[in-house]
Structure 1
Amino acid sequence: MEQDEHTLVVLGAGVMGVGITTLAVGFGLPVTLIDVDEQILDRARRKIRQELKLATLMGALPEDTEPGELRTATSAGSGADASAVIEAVTETAEVKAAVLAEISALVKPGTPVVSNTSSIPIDELADAVARPEDFLGTHFMNPPYLIPMVEVIRGRRTGDAAQAALGSVLTALGRRWLVVADHPGFVTSRVLHPMLNDAIRVVREKTAPPETVDALFEGCLGHRTGPLRTADLIGLDNLADSLRVLHARTGDEGCRPDQLLLDKVQAGHLGRKSGRGFYDY
C-alpha cells in the first residue's frame, strides 16, 4: 500500500494518542483522532500543532512532505473506513477491551486493529475484538516522533496479513520495528518499568535525590535521561498502571508500584504532562 493510501484512526487523545497522531500527520498521513470528550479533543488539536512545530524544528519530520489532514470526532463510527486503527486509551484492560470491541465491529475485515500498550498481553485483549486475526499490538515510546523504533507484539491469533499491513503503516511513518512474542510487558516494559520502580524506591529510601540518581545513570551507565526523568516523561500515572498490570500477571514483587510513586499520582504530580513529577517543568 502506498503512503497516500493509508488513512489512520487513532483512538484516545491522551499523551500517546496525541504523539502518534503528530507523527502520522507529520509524515503526511490523514488521521482521524477519536475521543469521547470534545474538550480533550480541543486541547489535543492545540497540542498537536505545538508538537508538529517542535518536531519540525528538531528535524524529526520529512521536509518535503505536506502535513496530513487532521480530523477529530467523538464517535467510533467516524473510523469505519480506516485502513488501520491504533487504540491508545488508558492502560487499563477493561477500558481498552471496550474500545477495541466497538471499533473492530465497525471496520472492514482485513483492517489491522492495533492496541498501543506498554504491558497488557495482546491475546488477553483479543477476546474482545471481532476478528482476532486482524489484531496485534504496538508499543510506541514517548514521544513517538523522536523515537524511531517501535515494538510490535504478535498475539497467538494474529494473522500474517495483519502484521504485514501494520508494517506498511510503520514504514509510511518512517519507523523501524521489531516483532516480539506476547508476554506481559513484552521486552521494553518488562525490563524498564521494574528498573524505574527500583529507582523510585532508592529516592524514597533517601539513598540519593532524583538529580543524583539520574546523573549516575547518565554518567556511569550511558542512560540518555536517567530513570526519574524517564518516569516523568512516561507519565507517573501510566507507569503505575503498567506496573500494576505486570505485578498482577507475573507475580513479580519488583513490579508492585512503590509507595512514593503512588503518592505522587495521588497528589496529581504526574510528570511532564502535569508540570510536576520528580522534577518541575
Structure 2
Amino acid sequence: MATEIRTVGVVGAGQMGAGIAHVAALAGFDVKLYDLAEDQISAGMQRIEKSMGRQLASEKITEAEKADALARISVTVDVKDLADRDLVIEAATEDETVKRKIYREICPHLKPEAMLATNTSSISITRLAAATDRPERFMGIHFMNPVPVMKLVELVRGIATEEETFGAAKTFVSALDKTITVSEDFPAFIVNRILLPMINEAIYTLYEGVGSVTSIDTAMKLGANHPMGPLQLADFIGLDTCLSIMQVLYDGLADSKYRPCPLLVKYVEAGWLGRKAGRGFYDYRGEEPVPTR
C-alpha cells in the first residue's frame, strides 16, 4: 500500500520548523505546527508571515496564495494534536538527547502508519530511527536554511528505512518544488561534510592570524565567487550549530582534520553564537555588522 501524504506535522517552531511549515502550506498541505512554548509558536508564525510577505513583494506568490497558505497552518502546544498526521517532521535543535526525548513523547500519539522524519543536518539517521517505535517508517529529510529560499533537500535513509517510506518522502519533497539529493547515512551527509570543514578552516585562518574577518570573507566572496563569506555564513547558521556539526564529524569519523577550531569553541562558550545572539564573528547590534576581531 503506497503512503500518501496529505497532512503534515512539524515539531519545533524555530527557524527551520517555521520554514518547513511555510513551504508545506504553500504547496497545499494541511500543516500543524507544534512546539512546547507558546512564545516560540507566535514567533514562528510571525516569521512565516514575514517570509511570505517578502515572497509577495517580489511577486513569487499572490495575495490569495499567501492567505490560503496561512489558513492551512494550525498551531498547537498539545502533542496529542499530531495524532491525525500522515507525516511528522522533527525540526528541533541539533542535539541527539533532545531529539530522542521528543520521539519518546510523540511516538505514542502517532497513528501506526504515520511517517516520522528528522531535519537533522548531521546526526546518524539509523541511530535516531532506533530510538523510535517505527524505524522502517523513519528517515532524514534535511532542508537547507532559509527553507523558503533554498532549493535543495537531502534525503537520507537509515539502515531500516523501507522503500515505501523513501518513495513517499521523494513524492512529498518534489511537491514542495525542491530538488532532491540522496545521501548515504554518514556523519553530516553531503552538504555539511563539505561546507562545515571549510567554515572551520576559515576560523583556523582567523585564529592563526593569516587574515582578518574582513579579508577572509572578501577573499572567498571575490576569489571563489561565494555569495557570502565563510565567517558571515557561520554567523548566519549559528556558531553553536557549526560546533555541534564539527563535533559529530570529529567523533563519527575520528579524523583530526575535523577537529573544531579552539576559537569556534571560545565564541560558543562566550555565548557569541552569531546573528541570532547579536554577536559572533560580526557584531550585529548597530546599523551595520562590524567584525569582532
User: Is the structural similarity TM-score above 0.5?
Assistant: yes
Q: Which moved more, 1:33-42 or 1:123-132?
A: 33-42
| Partner Cα distance (2:37, 2:115) in 1 | 25
Structure 1 residue aligned with 2:222: 219
Secondary structure of the corresponding residue to residue 218 of structure 1: helix
Structure 1 residue runs of 5 or longer lacking an equivalent are none
| Structure-1 residue corresponding to 2:257 | 254
* Matched position secondary structure for 2:283: coil
Residue number in structure 2 paired with 1:114: 117
1:47 aligns with 47
Checking the alignment, whether the CA contact within 8 Å between 1:85 and 1:114 is kept in structure 2 is yes
1:270 aligns with 2:289: no
C-alpha deviation, 1:81, in angstroms = 0.8
Secondary structure of 1:129's counterpart equals: coil
Quick check: 2:3–2:168 contact (8 Å CA) kept in 1? no
Contact 1:26 1:61 in 2 (8 A): no
Map 1:125-136; keep pairs closer than 5 Å.
125-136=128-139
- Please report how far the alpha carbon of residue 205 of structure 1 lies from its aligned counterpart in structure 2 after TM superposition: 1.7
- 2:25 corresponds to 1:25: yes
Q: Is the 8 A contact 2:274 2:281 kept in 1?
A: yes
| Counterpart in the other structure of 2:163 | 160
Q: Distance in 1 between matches of 2:115 and 2:217?
A: 39
Q: 1:124 and 1:2 mapped to 2: Cα distance? A: 24
2:69 to 54, 57, 67: 67
2:177 pairs with 1:174 = yes
**Distance of aligned partners of 1:234 and 1:59 in 2 relative to their CA distance in 1, 3 Å threshold:** farther
Displacement of 1:230: 1.5
- CA distance in 2 between partners of 1:189 and 1:207 (Å): 24
SS of equivalent to 2:33: strand
Larger Rg: 2
Pairs aligned (count): 280
| Aligned amino acid, residue 101 of structure 1 | R
Between 1:199-208 and 1:268-277, the stretch displaced more is 268-277
How far apart are the structure 1 equivalents of 2:40 and 2:198? Answer: 32
Determine the C-alpha separation between the residues in 1 that align with 2:246 and 2:40: 26
Q: Which amino acid aligns with 2:11?
A: L
Shift of 1:144: 0.8
Taking a change above 3 Å as real, the CA distance of residues 110 and 60 of structure 1, as seen in their structure-2 partners, is farther
* TM-score after normalising by structure 2: 0.88
Q: How does 1:220-239 map to 2 (within 5 A)?
A: 220-239=223-242
1:6–1:29 Cα contact (<8 Å) kept? yes
Residue 231 of structure 1: CA displacement?
1.0
SS at the partner of 1:67? Answer: helix
In 2: Cα distance, 1:158 partner to 1:199 partner: 36
Separation in structure 1 between the aligned mates of residue 59 and residue 238 of structure 2, nearest angstrom: 25
Quote the residue 1:192 is aligned against: 195
Q: Give yes or no for contact 2:22–2:69 (8 Å, CA) kept in 1.
A: no
- DSSP-derived class of the 1:10 partner: strand
- Distance in 2 (alpha carbons) for counterparts of 1:60 and 1:168: 23
Partner of 1:12: 12
Aligned-residue identity in percent: 36
Cα 1:64–1:71 change in 2 (3 A) is closer
TM-score (norm 1): 0.91
CA-CA distance at 1:140 after TM superposition: 1.0
